[in-house]
Chain A
Amino acid sequence: MSTSQGVVTSAERHHAHHFESGLAEFEACKQGMWIFLVTEVLFFSGMFLLYAILRVFYPSMMHDAHHLLNWKMGALNTVILICSSLTMALAVSAAQRGEKDKIVRYIWLTFLFSCGFLVVKFFEYSHKIHEGILPGALWHYEELKAAKAPLFFSVYFVMTGIHGLHVIIGMAVMLWLIKRAKRNEFGPEYFTPVEMTGLYWHFVDLVWIYLFPLLYLVS
């Protein structure tokens, strides 16, 4: 959703001429992004439903199974993602004010936070894989015998896996933004890609805000 230019002339850069103004184009892109986020919510809805089913019908299994997750790691990642959301918001503001150096700096910070998130996730995953705490048929963890516990970890891995994939995609987009920002392409007149990436990134944060208490703090 970042840019959508038709045939761009040098005189009216960044303003596709089927829109009457750059602002109209920006508004359209933003609405498109919000609609995209709607599709994201519904994409995650299937996994939230699976989670809810396990939670309602197998509460004691959920309780036993979630103890295999390290809530401290989850909390750490929550804090990391909230910080990355902050730096992303600051990057958007910097772009709106046309402060090129700050855009680059804040996006790099966001990128570093996302790396941190993935590192924590990597330690969590590798620990689980090592112990055999794996989804469905791959499960071979002997300590927990609760029926359907492997299903909880199916939901855990699919949810956090898809969320992690979103993080990785976001990081790739950030690198592209940094490249463009260094070429001085963003300013008060045109900052659509930064704003759109910001919306996307905050959404990734938003999903984690729910995933953390649901997966790590079952009581």
Chain B
Amino acid sequence: MSSHSSEGDLVKHGDNYINHSAGIKSWLNTLDHKRIGMMYLFTVMIFFLIGGFFALGIRLELFSPGMQFMTPDTYNRFFTYHGAIMVFMVIIPLIPAAMGNFILPMQLGAKDVAFPRWNLVSYYIYVTGALIAASTLFLKGVDTGWTFYTPYSIRSNSSATFVLLGAFIMGFSSILTGLNFIVTIHKLRAPGLTWGRLPLFVWALYATSIIQVLATPVLAITLLLLILERTLGIGVFDPKLGGDPVLFQHFFWFYSHPAVYIMILPAMGVISELVPVFSRKPIFGYKAIAGATFGIALVSFIVWGHHLFVSGQSEFANFVFSLITMFVAIPTGVKVFSWLGTMYKGSLRFDTPMLYVFGFLFVFTIGGLTGVFLAVVSIDVHLTDTYFVIAHFHYVMVGGTIMAFLGGIHYWFPKFSGKMYHESLAKFACWLVMIGFNVTFFPQFIVGTLGMPRRYADYLPQFTNYNRASTVGSWILALGLFITAYNLFRSMKTGKAAGDNPWGGLTLEWQTTSPPPFENFKYDPVVTEGPYEYKGDRIGMGINA
């Protein structure tokens, strides 16, 4: 997000992380968590653009029944790339690695993460893995779907091996980021920043990091076994050689279900930051939200079987996984009601970040509740592999994670850049995103219950109108996102100076200059009270310089 061209404007504001040293090399070799965060953000956005291109391609093809401009084979590649890029290269690193890298050490009052060099290594591992996976675009492509289900993925005559290798490598980046954050939170909190005073975004990243560290290695071995399966034919997942293809799904979802919470927990953390700031009230249920965060993280490890309801998993396992899955709704509900409780009788401000919070609450609740439907085996048997599932997880991933990300990026943009974005343009874009999103995905709930299967290049004529609505919605959504990007990029150069704390936030990142100086704080902060103690007009967490 930060370009070098903006450096010249900011020099006069004094030393900050952007002008601390100059030249492209000083960025590529940087150990500064803020610069690494920005590099992540920029790279992730490039992949978001590519993933979005495939999404628009899918929607365009589905504008009418029959094949318009691609073969079914091309279509398979489109949805595979859309899924794999958006999951492995965008949503997983989006909030933790990009936003978390920038904000986490500052919220802790630390000068950097615990292992700055490994932080940079993790970025380059991510780039390497992403490039290896993306290189297959120019080879034979990949058509297995982002889940790489065996036995098809073993025999698929495509470049699946490279995509698997890329995802395998990116896993190490995710592990390193998680490991780094855990140690940072344990060891580098400012004096007085006790566990009970940690901002909820930190709690969310803490739980996320634990999931990353515990689940990602299982993905690594899964992908490695599949690579060996494709290259040497070791046979453990190959029915032809006596292996069990359903076992692959157990392996895969032991990672990939917790990964869903790698995507959503940081988003919930962002929402927990925004709600008290824009309600000017202490957060309702601090301990409940922190506890619920860990509740979700723990439960996420014991529900993966709900992805296997129709895969030939045993009836007994279906029953157990279905039951546990419904427990996810409890901590999630605790969070939603705590946010509402915070807003209740607060002095709400409707700035752009808060609009995204409302957007998040609206769509995420729909996404979450439809998840409870799908947890019921008898319903899932009918809805599985239909567009109902597509709509459900887009409501959670796009409606949850992307909405929270957009709220967060508007909230912290003044901190990242020192500039303020164009408010009314941002609000306009926010409405476009909200409308576009719902127009795209709500019809998919309906068309899913009517039986339209996912991952097909064609559909029955009676589904045409729903699909047309969906396609038009995707254009509105894309327009909203482009306007947002334009607004932010332009404001980096031409925006008004934002001041150090435009929102009156109490967490530590707002108690330093914008953009922050090289080691975050001019003085070592000492914390004396919690992060959301909004009383009257006073601004600023209790700090002794």
Q: Which residues of A contact B (CB under 8 A)?
A: 1, 3-7, 16-19, 24, 27-29, 31-32, 35-36, 38-47, 49-50, 53, 135-138, 147-148, 150-151, 154-155, 157-158, 162
Identify the closest chain A residue to B114 (Cβ): A28
- Is A46 touching B213 in the complex (CB atoms < 8 A)? no
- List B contacts of A49 (CB < 8 A): 251
Task: Decide if the interface of chain B is mainly helix, strand, loop or mixed.
Answer: helix
- Is B242 touching A148 in the complex (CB atoms < 8 A)? yes
B210-227 interface mask toward A, CB cutoff 8 Å, 1 = contact, 0 = none?
A: 000111111011101100
Q: Select A39's contact among B115, B216, B233, beta carbons within 8 Å.
A: B216
- Is A6 touching B217 in the complex (CB atoms < 8 A)? no
**A–B complex contacts, Cβ < 8 Å, 23 sampled:** A4-B114, A4-B118, A6-B31, A16-B116, A18-B188, A18-B519, A19-B187, A32-B114, A39-B179, A39-B214, A42-B214, A43-B221, A45-B218, A46-B225, A47-B221, A135-B232, A136-B234, A136-B235, A137-B232, A137-B235, A147-B242, A151-B241, A151-B242
Across chains A and B, the number of contacting residue pairs, with CB separation under 8 Å, is 121
- List B contacts of A138 (CB < 8 A): 232-233
Given known A135-B234, A136-B236, A147-B242, contact A18–B112 (CB-CB < 8 A):
yes
Q: Select A50's contact among B218, B224, B236, beta carbons within 8 Å.
A: B236
Identify the closest chain A residue to B115 (Cβ): A4
- Is A38 touching B225 in the complex (CB atoms < 8 A)? no
Contacts A18-B114, A19-B187 known; 19 new A-B pairs at CB < 8 A: A6-B112, A18-B519, A28-B183, A29-B115, A31-B182, A32-B114, A35-B182, A39-B214, A39-B217, A40-B217, A43-B217, A47-B221, A136-B232, A136-B235, A136-B238, A137-B233, A147-B242, A150-B235, A151-B242
B85-117 interface mask toward A, CB cutoff 8 Å, 1 = contact, 0 = none?
A: 000000000000000000000000011101111
Q: Select A35's contact among B117, B179, B234, beta carbons within 8 Å.
A: B179
- List A contacts of B115 (CB < 8 A): 1, 4, 28-29, 32
Identify the closest chain B residue to A39 (Cβ): B217
* Contact of B186 with A by CB under 8 A: yes
Give the CA-CA distance A6 to B31 in the complex, in Å. Answer: 7
- List B contacts of A136 (CB < 8 A): 229, 232-236, 238, 241, 243
* Contact of B173 with A by CB under 8 A: no
* Contact of B55 with A by CB under 8 A: no
- List B contacts of A5 (CB < 8 A): 117
* Contact of B247 with A by CB under 8 A: yes
Closest CB in chain A relative to B86 CB, distance in Å: 25
Identify the closest chain A residue to B216 (Cβ): A39
Closest CB in chain A relative to B280 CB, distance in Å: 33
Identify the closest chain B residue to A58 (Cβ): B242
* Contact of B447 with A by CB under 8 A: no
- List A contacts of B228 (CB < 8 A): 158
Closest CB in chain A relative to B24 CB, distance in Å: 19
Identify the closest chain B residue to A27 (Cβ): B187
- Is A43 touching B218 in the complex (CB atoms < 8 A)? yes
Identify the closest chain B residue to A154 (Cβ): B234
